[in-house]
């Protein structure tokens, strides 16, 4: 048991991206799709990068997304579907005040409310 625990700790310390996921800096955007550097396969997986957390499927944003201001307050929160806004999205300034005219509910990237 001790050997397994030691191995896991070493892997996490030597390869933090295995524990934390990829960062946006690990990806390259080409022709509207995101790829992991040095590959030609559109990226699928989660990114965690301090201020931005989200998921990709086939090179496009897909799933829950959250972005923070430097002071730790939420900047944007919503869901992507196939690279487009989907469902309720909320944007806030650095003081937590919701932006007017920007938030709303989206379907296939088009604002419906």
Residue with tokens 């022709």: 31
27: which strand partners? 36
- Tell whether 65 is covered by a domain: yes
For position 44, which CATH number holds?
Answer: 2.20.110
Profile the chain (113 residues) by mean pLDDT over runs of 10 residues: 56 47 88 95 91 95 95 93 92 85 78 81
- Domain of 65? 21-111
- pLDDT at site 55: 96
For the whole model, what pTM was predicted? Answer: 0.72
- pLDDT at site 104: 80
- pLDDT at site 56: 97
Chain center to CA of 110: 20
- Tell whether 5 is covered by a domain: no
Burial-class residue 106 by CB neighbours within 10 Å (0-12, 13-18, 19+): buried
Q: Which two tokens stand for residue 108?
A: 């296939």
The Cα–Cα gap between 86 and 78 comes to 7
- Tell whether 15 is covered by a domain: no
- Tell whether 9 is covered by a domain: no
The Cα–Cα gap between 75 and 94 comes to 7
């Amino acid at each position: 048991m001790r050997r397994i625990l030691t191995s896991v700790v070493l892997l996490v310390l030597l390869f933090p991206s295995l524990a934390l996921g990829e960062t946006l800096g690990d990806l390259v955007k080409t022709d509207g799709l995101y790829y992991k550097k040095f590959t030609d396969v559109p990226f699928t997986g989660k990114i965690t990068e301090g201020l931005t957390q989200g998921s990709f499927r086939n090179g496009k944003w897909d799933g829950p997304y959250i972005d923070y201001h430097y002071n730790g307050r939420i900047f944007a929160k919503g869901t992507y579907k196939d690279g487009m806004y989907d469902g309720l999205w909320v944007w806030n300034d650095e003081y937590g005040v919701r932006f007017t005219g920007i938030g709303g509910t989206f379907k296939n990237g088009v604002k419906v409310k």
